[in-house]
Amino acid sequence: MEGLIGRKVGMTQVFDDQGRRIAVTVIEAGPCPVVQVKVPETDGYSAAQLGFDEQKPSRLSKAQVKHFEKAGVKPCKVTKEFALDEGEAVKAGDAVTVGMFDGVKYVDVSGITKGRGFAGVVRRYGMAGGPMTHGGHSKRRIGSIGARDLPGWVEKGKRMPGHMGNVNRKGRNLTVVQVRGEDNLLLVAGSVPGPKGGVVIIRKALKK
Amino acid sequence: MIAKAIDKINAEQVAKADAGKTAPEFKVGDNVKVFVKIKEGDKERVQAFAGTVIARDNKNGNSATFTVRRISFGVGVEKVFPVHSPYIDRVEVERSAKVRRAKLYYLRKLTGKKARLREA
């Protein structure tokens, strides 16, 4: 299995085997039931659709309820497709647990970042802004946005104030510190996008 | 579930660090000797750092630390140790002092006789 769906629990610290303190993010990962198996004959590719987080059937459409019923699993809030490993065979109804990350050194974790609303350019892009004192009148303003006659317009993609956060972001090559099978927890070094309780997708690192 | 999982990890860390250790209680103002395990190649030895505890942070949590200050060759040296570090062998209290503050940061500005603490 390529990855798993989880929930960010929060952060703490643990000591590694060299006695160093490591800041870790605790992720409640799975267990995720296989809701549907996609096969090349009917779907054109092979993958497994996993579910996470139980949902009341009354909150879903009839079509969705039947979709889960067909697999013989409880309805889920989140579903996501993952590629299968070479030669891996799964069937609907199987549960995938954090155990799949045993022996995996690095993972990519993606989630939806905290929304910051309409943010200025200092917060959004780390621009310096103007002087706060000495009669500064452009304290947190953007400054110049271009020249005059040449080119006579503002460059496309010029960084300006606007909505910040609430977008999908991925933390790449995060070290797996601990896999706790009995608690369904995964400890990953460093931070992970999103608030506590936010849904995250954990995948085996693509580039390591 | 959310907070409990983290509490469990923290408690586990603390338990692991304190297993087999007679952790002596030490307070701010105490003169202590901290024995730290140091790895040199594949050999391990214990080195002591003696000084005054000037701060304890985060009380009993997994991330609790304490700061030890000493004057070494006329230069003030401070080291921050995690209380539950597996690399702290033991802490010995040599002398306790009566202090009226939780953090003795004022010692940084004092030298010589003025930097003494009243014995408890």
Contact A28 B62 (CB under 8 A): no
Q: Are strands B31-40 and A185-189 parallel, antiparallel or unpaired?
A: unpaired
What is the pLDDT of chain A when averaged over all its residues?
88
- Look over chain B and give the mean of its residue pLDDT values, rounded to a whole number: 82
pLDDT band at A55 (very low <50, low <70, confident <90, very high): confident
Q: Give the separation between CA B25 and CA B117, rounded to whole angstroms.
A: 19
Q: Return the pLDDT at B12.
A: 76
pLDDT digits (tens, 9 = 90+) for B80-107: 988 888 888 888 888 888 888 889 898 8
Task: Provide the pLDDT for residue B23.
Answer: 59
Contact state of A10 with B87 under an 8 Å Cβ cutoff: no
Kindly determine whether residue A14 and residue B9, on different chains, have CB atoms separated by under 8 Å. Answer: yes
Q: Measured between CB atoms, does B3 come within 8 Å of chain A? A: yes
Sole residue written with tokens 């000495």: A134
B85 touches chain A (CB under 8 A): yes
State the pLDDT at residue B95.
85
In chain A, what are the domains? 3-114+168-204 (3.30.160.810), 115-165 (no CATH)
pLDDT tens for each residue of A92-147: 878 888 888 888 889 999 999 999 999 999 999 999 988 999 988 889 999 889 89
Tell me the Ramachandran region of residue B86: left when phi exceeds 0, alpha when psi lies from -120 to 50, beta otherwise.
alpha
- CA distances to A121, B68, B71 from B52, rounded to whole Å, are 47, 5, 10
Per-window interface: B 46-65 vs A, CB < 8 A: 62-63
Of A98, A78, A96, A79, which Cα lies nearest the Cα of A26?
A98
Give how far A141 is from chain B: nearest CA, Å. Answer: 39
In sign, the C-alpha dihedral spanning A72, A44, A31, A102 is positive
Count Cβ–Cβ pairs < 8 Å, chain A vs chain B: 44
State pLDDT tens for residues A155-202. 999 999 999 999 999 999 999 988 888 888 888 999 999 998 899 999
Q: DSSP for B22-67, please give it.
A: ------TT-EEEEEEEEEETTEEEEEEEEEEEEEEESTTSTT-EEE
B5 CB within 8 Å of a chain A CB: yes
Asked if the C-beta of A187 comes within 8 angstroms of chain B's C-beta atoms, the answer is yes
CA A4, A174, B84: angle at the middle one, nearest 5? 110
- Cβ of A26 and B6 within 8 Å? yes
Q: Which residues of B touch A16 (CB under 8 A)?
A: none
Q: Do A26 and B39 touch (CB under 8 A)?
A: no
Q: Is the pLDDT of residue A19 over 80?
A: no
Q: How far apart are CA B46 and CA B65, in angstroms?
A: 20
**Summary count for chain A: helices (H), strands (E):** 3, 12
Indicate if the alpha-carbon torsion angle A60, A61, A62, A68 is positive or negative.
negative
pLDDT tens-digit map of B9-61 = 777 777 777 666 655 678 888 888 888 888 877 888 888 888 888 988 877 67
- Find, in chain A, the residue whose alpha carbon is nearest to that of B63: A13
Instruction: Give the nearest chain A residue to B44 (CA atoms).
Output: A18
Give yes or no for a cis peptide into A151 (omega within 30° of 0). Answer: yes
Q: Which of A12, A17, A54, A196 to mutate to test the interface with B (most CBs of B within 10 A)?
A: A12
pLDDT of residue B110: 85
Compute CA distances B91 → B24, B26, B66, B76, B102, whole Å. 7, 8, 11, 21, 19
Q: Which CA distances in Å does A101 have to A29, A125, A180, B14, B67?
A: 10, 35, 10, 25, 38
Coil, helix or strand for A73?
coil
Q: Which of A10, A13, A18 sits opposite B63 (nearest CB)?
A: A13
What are the chain A neighbours of B82 within 8 Å (beta carbons)? 15, 21
A22 has a chain B CB within 8 A of its CB: no
The dihedral of CA A143, A149, A154, A159: what is its sign? negative
CB contact under 8 A, B8 and A183: yes
Q: Say what the pTM is.
A: 0.80
